[in-house]
Homo-oligomer: A and B are copies of this chain.
Amino acid sequence: MEVVESVVPQQKSGFFARLKALPCKVKHNIIMVGKNIKKLGKDDPRRVIHSLKVGLALTLVSLFYYLKPLYDGFGMSGIWAVLTVVVVFEFSVGATLGKGINRACATLTAGALGVGALHLSSLFPKEEQPIILGSLVFVLAAATTFTRFFPKIKARYDYGLIIFILTFSMISISGYRVDKLLQMAHQRLSTILIGGATCIIVSICVCPVWAGQDLHNLIASNIDKLANYLEGFGDTYFQTAPEDKDCVNDIKNDKSFLQGYKSVLNSKANEESLANFARWEPGHGRFLFRHPWKQYLKIAALARQCAYLIEALNSQCSSDIQAPPDFTSLIQESCIKMSSETGKTLKSLATSIKAMKHPNSATEHVENSKTAAKDLKSALEAAAIEDLDLLAIISAATVASTLVEIVECVEKISDSVHELSQMAHFKKVEATVSPEKAPQMLLHRGTVKPVLLDGDTDDDHVVITVHDDIASDSPDKQNVKTPKTRVAPASL
């Protein structure tokens, strides 16, 4: 590392110096790559497992070649099983199932159509057949390619349409020369089905990665990130401001977790693809088939809306004009309360989504934050400050006004999480918080660690009563305690 850096000023000594430094540079690069690999695997160990699963599935289908009886049955068509495994095996069960089902259905329909096209062309003289077949391939390929532009079809059936074109073209083009077409088609189809089935079985049976679970965790963790910011913001803005003018720097240096909300701003594409995969998945764990995945997208859109407001709030931190103390004291209390209560609302919503419990406690915090907004309004109405420096108050006023917007937005988020709770039959919970704990929790500030990592640590102070009112259709009674599930990485 040192050597690499010292090379820069000696650039004039040229080629030989660089040649001398080369081994060090290479060594340095190898170490860096090694560190990156380790980090990638540590960030989400499922990546390592997925890689091994792909190897396993490939080894399984290669038995078509290695075992004599299987090879005698399928012959060279076994290669289609290998091909299917490589292109169909995806990270999550939903994506693998989606691709597998797409491939199987598309191969079947295109295969049937292809055989039909060959039959049609066989009615014409041999020299005219290529023209008939060529035109059919042209028309079908063009029409199917155009269909791929429909956004809804692209989201769910894109791969199927590609395989449809592929299979139809292969059968109708190669059918012109191959004689035992039906036997070939049959062998290929069965190996493709076997390859697809291998993928799906390995994907589901060996440490499955459920896209639905990932989406669920992602939404909860996004809401949690917003909560972290809001819980910390009020105190950071109003208390450290007099000591340290540039509160952005402060936030950046000391409280980097307050920047976590930034990843929520651009999470739309990721959420939508996870929701698309999740729809392919069968019921698993706490999620039944036809779990309301669309509602998650609605919550995610509102969370993004809230993140935009937080972004606006954050940009106010860079203002270096200090509000006069009498104005600050006027709004400080209600602003800190709005910020911390919306933070608590979101925290509680995140926890309840995570644990799939009814978000009871959130309602109380929503009411508190609305009361704080009303308090702010009446404080401002009643205020009679003379000789007010308008310029000085404008930044603080903006913060207050944005916080009021956030209160409204968080109420919407809470409503839609309640809807989700109804739609997905979340468990009803009565949380009795011991009274001496309550005020402490209310004063809890920015340093709260994410619930996702230590959701169980405070449980000893909370008595939880579970009313299992959906006993008939809930196969997961044993999951009443908050299960420790991992947070979905944003890069999936």
Give me the interface of A with B, judged by CB distance under 8 Å.
36-37, 40-41, 47-48, 50-52, 54-56, 58-59, 62, 65-66, 71, 76, 78-79, 82-83, 86-87, 130, 133-134, 137-139, 141-143, 145-146, 149-151, 162, 165-166, 169-170, 173-174, 176-178, 265-266, 268-269, 304-305, 308-309, 311-312, 315-316, 319, 330, 377, 380-381, 383-391, 393-395, 397-398, 400-402, 405, 491
User: Which residues of chain B are near A47, meaning CB under 8 Å?
Assistant: 146, 149
* Known contacts A55-B138, A76-B174, A82-B173: A87-B166 contact under CB 8 Å: yes
Bound Cα distance from A169 to B83, whole angstroms: 9
CB distance from A222 to the nearest CB of B (A): 15
User: Which residues of chain B are near A36, meaning CB under 8 Å?
Assistant: 150
Chain B's closest residue to A309 (CB) is: B312
Partner of A390, one of B170, B269, B309, B381: B381
Contact between B397 and A401, CB atoms less than 8 A apart: yes
User: Which residues of chain B are near A78, meaning CB under 8 Å?
Assistant: 174
Contact between A166 and B312, CB atoms less than 8 A apart: no
User: Which residues of chain B are near A41, meaning CB under 8 Å?
Assistant: 146
Bound Cα distance from A134 to B59, whole angstroms: 6
Bound Cα distance from A47 to B153, whole angstroms: 15
* Known contacts A170-B83, A265-B308: A138-B401 contact under CB 8 Å: no
CB distance from A450 to the nearest CB of B (A): 23
Chain B's closest residue to A138 (CB) is: B55
The 9 closest A-B pairs by CB, nearest first: A312-B312, A55-B142, A66-B130, A269-B269, A380-B391, A55-B138, A51-B146, A380-B390, A398-B401
Partner of A395, one of B305, B388, B390, B401: B401
Partner of A82, one of B170, B269, B400: B170
Determine how many copies of this chain the complex contains: 2
Chain B's closest residue to A36 (CB) is: B150
Bound Cα distance from A330 to B304, whole angstroms: 34
Chain B's closest residue to A140 (CB) is: B55
Inter-chain pairs besides A65-B130, A377-B391, A393-B397, 13 sampled, C-beta below 8 Å: A41-B146, A51-B145, A54-B165, A62-B134, A76-B174, A76-B177, A86-B166, A87-B162, A266-B266, A311-B312, A312-B405, A394-B397, A395-B401
Determine the main DSSP class of A at the interface with B: helix
Chain B's closest residue to A54 (CB) is: B145
User: Which residues of chain B are near A386, meaning CB under 8 Å?
Assistant: 386
Chain B's closest residue to A62 (CB) is: B173
* Known contacts A55-B138, A79-B173, A138-B55: A86-B165 contact under CB 8 Å: yes
* Known contacts A55-B142, A266-B268: A82-B169 contact under CB 8 Å: yes
CB distance from A146 to the nearest CB of B (A): 4
Chain B's closest residue to A43 (CB) is: B149
27 contacts between A and B (CB under 8 A): A48-B146, A51-B141, A51-B142, A51-B143, A51-B145, A52-B142, A54-B142, A55-B138, A55-B139, A56-B138, A62-B137, A62-B169, A65-B176, A76-B178, A82-B170, A82-B174, A86-B141, A86-B162, A266-B266, A308-B308, A308-B311, A309-B312, A311-B312, A319-B401, A380-B390, A390-B397, A397-B398
User: Which residues of chain B are near A143, meaning CB under 8 Å?
Assistant: 51
User: Which residues of chain B are near A173, meaning CB under 8 Å?
Assistant: 62, 65-66, 79, 82
CB distance from A151 to the nearest CB of B (A): 6
User: Which residues of chain B are near A82, meaning CB under 8 Å?
Assistant: 166, 169-170, 173-174
Contact between B316 and A401, CB atoms less than 8 A apart: yes
Bound Cα distance from A151 to B39, whole angstroms: 13
Chain B's closest residue to A330 (CB) is: B390
Chain B's closest residue to A316 (CB) is: B401
CB distance from A189 to the nearest CB of B (A): 16
CB distance from A274 to the nearest CB of B (A): 14
User: Which residues of chain B are near A385, meaning CB under 8 Å?
Assistant: 388, 390
